[in-house]
Each structure stands twice: as C-alpha cells, then as structure tokens.
Chains A and B, each alone.
Chain A
Amino acid sequence: MVRIAHYLNQFFAGIGGEDKADAPFEVREGAVGPGRAILLETGDDAEIVQTLVCGDNAFHAGTDAILDAIVATLAESKPDLLIAGPAFNAGRYGLACGAVCSAVSERLGIPSLTGVYPEAPAVDVYRSRVVMVPTGDSAAGMREAVASLVRVGLGLAAGKPLGPADEDGRIPMGYRKAVVTDVPAARRALDLLMAKLAGEPFLSEVALPKGAEPIPPAPAVADLSSAVIALVTDGGLVPEGNPDRIESSSATRWARYPVADLAGNHDPAFLSIHAGYDSQWVDADPNRLVPLDALQALAAEGVIGKVHEFFYATTGTGTTVTHAERMGEEIAKALISDGVHAVLVTST
C-alpha cells in the first residue's frame, strides 16, 4: 500500500477563507478534504498518513521555516509520495504547492507532485523542478484533478520513469529527453511532411514556443512634423556599469535613459550588454543601434516634431514571450504618459 502525505491550504483543510490565511502550519493524521477524494480514487492501493496544512499568507510569510518543518515531519514519517493541492488557479496556494514539492523531492528524495491550472503563476516558477498535472481553473474540476494526481502519483511512487508529458498527462517540464528510435530523423520528417500534404493529423516532435498574439495595427501618425518620436531597442544598450542590471539574456528588466546622455556618449559611455550578438560595432558607435543622430537631424530639419527625451532598452535574447509582453506593456504605458506619438524600435 502506498503511503501518501498530502499538503493543503487553510481553505481546502476547512479552516476558512481569506480571513484565515494566516493559519499556522500544522500536521493532521489521516485524510482531510480533497484527501478523501484522493482515497476514493486510489481505493485500497493507498492511504494518506498525514495531511500538512498551512494558511497561504502564513506560508509565504515564513516559507523557509515552514519548508524546514515539512521536511522534518516527512523525514520521520517517510511517506512514499507527497501530493500537494490541487491548487487550480490560486496564485499563493499554487506557489506554496510548488515550493513544498520541490523541497520534499530535492531534500528527501520523496517523489511529489501537484495539480495546477496550466496558466497559474506556479507553472512558470516550478515547472522545471516539480511534476505537475493540469487542472481546471477552479475547484469545480476537483474530480478530474484528483484522478490525474492519483494516476501520475502512483506511477511516481512505483518508481515508473516519466514519459513524454502529453502521454503522461502532465504539464511539460520544459526539457527534451533523447530516446533511441528505429526510424531515422529524415524518415520521420518525411512522414510528417506526407501527413501534412495529405491533410492528415500529425504531431511535431519539437514543441514550438507560445507565439505572440496578433495585434491590429495602431492608427498612423497624422502629422509627423508635430509628432514626438521615441526610440526603443532590444539590443541591450545601457550606460557603462549597467546600473539597472538588465540581464544579458532572458531579460526580465528594461530601463530608459536620457537621450542627452547618449548624444554625449561619455561618462558614462553606452555599451551593449546583449549576449546574443557581437556588439563591437554598436559599442564603437551606439547610433548603429539607437539611431539618435539621424532622428535628431530629422527633428532639426522639421521632418518630425521632437525626439522624446528618453530612449528605452532591454535585451531580446532568450526572453520569454510572457516577460516580453509584460515589459512591452510597461514601456507602452510610460510612452503614453509622456505623450509620445510614435516609436522606432530596433532589434538585433
């Protein structure tokens, strides 16, 4: 019989809602709440030896100490499997489930898993380290969520190796595993092509990253000669020393700098910290990335109204669509509040 430990927040443990989110960590014997649904699914194949309960706010206020307490508890009870949640689309709860699973598996070697809505914040943070099954976005999907947790969880407890995420019914962990096949790549590629040409279903072996949402074009600038134009780049141009610590790749940060500083280009000089291209030509003359000299000349000639006083920069290499969209939103809002009419973006 598989011995399961189960993690729940205050809500699913029946303590209360948001007003009880500071409920302290406690250990209860046996199954509580969704744990009973888990046992209905496992039948006699498993028992829940302990339920670990913690309020969502309490968990995030004292994460390290609570994780230590959970690890100490399970080091003693030695369950075969830890199930956390399911947390559905709950932000704090999902993150707590991810943290608990990752601590228990990494520190005790006990297999663990949780169930979350595929777009929940915990997925971005823990997908590479924690086994997760997809659930609906609310507890209305409890039955299906529990069935998936039990199916995948009992496999983990039995030592069954992970297969491809879609075959296992898991959220992809973001890495590829090499397998030996009898059919060479050229032949598989041709099979895919033939299926595509014949209009038959086919499945790419390489998952493409999530694409950007198409956005309808913004209205054109009516009168350039009175327009304020801003410069934006993803080529990683920052003042020497990179004061805003924009990442060289997989950026999560952006910054804006006065074009007056760039026009002088001394003390501090501007350099590219982008790790995805050879920046020697840009470092020698940043106008090759952010065309300030040309735009200022056109402003002086009256072709445009004015060059916006800041240019905006981040690094566009390995940057996730999620972060790129968020940074784009933030930059767009800053441009709007500064009264910018149009933007020139340069990409390396």
Chain B
Amino acid sequence: MIEKHGIPAAHLAAMTSMAKIAGSNRIISSGLIPHPVGDPTRSPEEEFKWRKGQVRKALNAVATPLQEALIFPDW
C-alpha cells in the first residue's frame, strides 16, 4: 500500500516468500522470524555492524528502479 502511493518501501523479513505473497515489491531476506534485524548470537558490536549492513541493503533496494517485485539477492 505504501508503494501504491509512490513511496518505495523495502521489506526486511525472514519469510521472503510470505512477503512476496503479501504483495511487497522490494524484499530483503533478513535475520530470523523473531528478530528480522537482530542476531543475538553475535556480540553487541558485531550485531550492530551486521544490522547496519542489512539496513544498507534495504536502502539500496529503495534506490533501485524495478519493473516488478524482487527478492533481492543476499549480496
């Protein structure tokens, strides 16, 4: 709905196929179901670094022109 109104929205989720079915266009595979942008197995510093990386991927997704929905590769 947010994209329908012209605002690009990146969707960070563990269940990417669900995000696709729900109609998201810019999908980023991220984390686990209970913490899509968290990784409690890492040290706090490492976790923050990792999360920053995930957020950068999502920012890259909103800056990428698309014709149709895409699950962004985990580059």
Chain A positions near chain B (C-beta within 8 angstroms): 211-222, 224, 229, 232, 235, 277-282, 284-285, 287-291, 293-295, 297-298, 303-304, 324-325, 327-329, 331-333, 335-336, 340-348
List 24 A-B pairs, Cβ < 8 Å: A212-B23, A215-B25, A216-B25, A217-B3, A217-B67, A217-B69, A220-B63, A220-B65, A220-B66, A224-B62, A281-B40, A288-B38, A288-B47, A288-B51, A291-B12, A294-B48, A294-B54, A325-B1, A332-B2, A333-B5, A340-B7, A343-B2, A343-B9, A346-B37
B64 & A220 in contact (Cβ 8 Å cutoff): yes
Nearest residue in B to A214 (C-beta to C-beta)? B23
Alpha-carbon distance A287/B50, docked complex (angstroms): 12
Nearest residue in B to A278 (C-beta to C-beta)? B34
Interface of chain B, helix or strand or loop or mixed?
loop
Nearest residue in A to B6 (C-beta to C-beta)? A218
**Residue among B4, B34, B55 making CB contact with A295, cutoff 8 Å:** B55
B10 & A342 in contact (Cβ 8 Å cutoff): yes
B48 & A348 in contact (Cβ 8 Å cutoff): no
Alpha-carbon distance A277/B22, docked complex (angstroms): 18
Alpha-carbon distance A344/B10, docked complex (angstroms): 5
Alpha-carbon distance A236/B67, docked complex (angstroms): 31
> Number of B residues contacting the other chain (C-beta, 8 Å)?
50
Residues of A within 8 A of B22 (CB): 212, 324
A281 & B2 in contact (Cβ 8 Å cutoff): no
B37 & A291 in contact (Cβ 8 Å cutoff): yes
Residues of B within 8 A of A336 (CB): 5-7
Alpha-carbon distance A333/B6, docked complex (angstroms): 10
**Residue among B1, B13, B34 making CB contact with A215, cutoff 8 Å:** B1
A294 & B52 in contact (Cβ 8 Å cutoff): yes
Given contacts A287-B51, A298-B55, A331-B1, 20 further A-B contacts (CB under 8 A): A212-B21, A217-B8, A218-B8, A221-B63, A232-B9, A277-B33, A277-B34, A280-B34, A281-B35, A288-B36, A289-B37, A290-B37, A297-B48, A332-B1, A341-B7, A344-B9, A344-B10, A345-B2, A346-B11, A348-B34
Interface string of B13-43 (1 = CB under 8 A from A): 1110011011111100011011111111000
Cβ distance B17 to chain A, nearest Cβ, rounded Å: 12
Alpha-carbon distance A333/B7, docked complex (angstroms): 10
Alpha-carbon distance A13/B32, docked complex (angstroms): 59
Cβ distance B44 to chain A, nearest Cβ, rounded Å: 8
**Residue among A212, A222, A294, A335 making CB contact with B55, cutoff 8 Å:** A294
